[in-house]
Amino acid sequence: MAKKIIWSLKAQNNRKEIFNYWNHRNQSNLYFIKLNLLFIEAVNLIAKFPKIGKPTGYRETRVKLVLDYLMIYKEEETLIIIVTIWDGRQDPLKLERILR
């Protein structure tokens, strides 16, 4: 049975920032629409199979790769919390600070 998905405020803001970046860069929202569909597909997969992501070692979070983005989530008893969406090309030390 699939678990309920909750997007943290941080993850919601990450999605908006990614949208704004690609919309501004491409002068079109088509790429983000495709990327967002991949995010939704990944979330649906995580909801059905919570252990699909690789463990991170930080507060029992896991990571699911979506293109260049790391979708970091935490499994609770009855739900999944999407903690953040991180561009894997950024400085990993920043991500460590977020996860601590």
d(CA 70, CA 55): 12
We report the CATH number of the domain holding residue 71 as: 3.30.2310.20
Which pLDDT does position 51 carry in this prediction? Answer: 93
Q: How does residue 90 score in pLDDT terms, banded at 50, 70 and 90?
A: confident
Which pLDDT does position 97 carry in this prediction? Answer: 72
| Tokens of residue 74, six digits | 């935490």
Q: How far is CA 48 from CA 12, 30, 33, 53, 59, in A?
A: 21, 28, 23, 12, 21
Domain count, the chain: 1
pLDDT at position 60 over 90: no
Which pLDDT does position 81 carry in this prediction? Answer: 96
- Domain residue limits at 35: 4-99
d(CA 95, CA 87): 10
pLDDT tens per residue, range 1-41 = 788 999 999 999 999 999 999 999 998 888 889 999 999 99
Q: pTM score, two decimals?
A: 0.86
DSSP state of 24: H
